[in-house]
């Protein structure tokens, strides 16, 4: 499905994204090392086994990226100009290797761009849930979205 043009977004629209993703050890280790995050809670099983989690936890920025990435196909594929920002990002529960995540998106605000007449700003509320239905991530994201071109 191609992304929606700015005019197609309406406050209150909800997307329950059909794609799910099981997070692997490789995802966590590769993302953490590529981003130079050497936090032993992500990389060192012995260290992590002595924490309150009892095991390594998935890098929260990987979870954030996955949550937003899964939303793209249903919302903004090919219509995004840029992400403008993210706010109120939180991770109420940890993600562990082997957890399968499901994402939901709600449109919470839509407004014309003041500086770009051919674009508008859409505010998304993203949520990620594990296989037990526990919310593991939340974020509000503002995106600059193309308006429908003439003839499209």
What pTM does this model have?
Answer: 0.93
Quote the mean pLDDT of the chain.
96
Confidence class of residue 2 from pLDDT cuts 50, 70 and 90?
confident
Q: How far apart are CA 37 and CA 15, in angstroms?
A: 32
Q: Is the pLDDT of residue 1 over 60?
A: no
Torsion angles phi and psi, residue 120, rounded to 5: -140, 170
Q: Is the pLDDT of residue 78 over 90?
A: yes
Q: Is the pLDDT of residue 6 over 80?
A: yes
End-to-end CA separation in angstroms for the chain:
15
Confidence class of residue 35 from pLDDT cuts 50, 70 and 90?
very high
- Token pair of 1, please? 């499905």
Residue 51, domain member (yes or no) = no
Structural domains of the chain, count: 1
Residue 87, domain member (yes or no) = yes
Give the rounded distance of the alpha carbon of 92 from its chain centre. Answer: 14
Q: What is the pLDDT of residue 150?
A: 81
Q: What is the pLDDT of residues 134-152, one digit of tens each?
A: 999 999 999 999 999 887 6
Residue 72, domain member (yes or no) = yes
Residue 28, domain member (yes or no) = no
Residue 43, domain member (yes or no) = no
Q: Residue 139: give its domain's CATH number.
A: 3.10.129.10
Residue 104, domain member (yes or no) = yes
Q: What is the pLDDT of residue 113?
A: 95
Residue 124, domain member (yes or no) = yes
Q: Is the pLDDT of residue 31 over 60?
A: yes
Whole domain around residue 99: which residue ranges?
6-23+60-146
């Amino acid at each position: 499905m191609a992304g929606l043009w700015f005019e197609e977004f309406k406050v209150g629209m909800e997307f329950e994204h059909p794609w799910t993703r099981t997070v692997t050890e490789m995802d966590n280790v590769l993302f953490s090392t590529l981003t130079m995050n050497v936090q032993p809670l992500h990389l060192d099983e012995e260290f992590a086994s002595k924490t309150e989690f009892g095991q390594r936890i998935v890098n929260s920025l990987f979870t954030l990226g996955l949550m937003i990435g899964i939303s793209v196909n249903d919302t903004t594929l090919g219509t995004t100009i840029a992400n403008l920002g993210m706010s109120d990002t939180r991770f109420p529960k940890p993600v562990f290797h082997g957890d399968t995540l499901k994402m939901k998106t709600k449109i919470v605000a839509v407004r014309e761009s003041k500086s770009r007449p051919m674009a508008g700003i859409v505010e998304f509320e993203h949520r990620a849930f594990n296989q037990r239905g526990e919310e593991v991530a939340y974020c509000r994201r503002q995106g600059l979205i193309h308006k429908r071109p003439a003839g499209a």
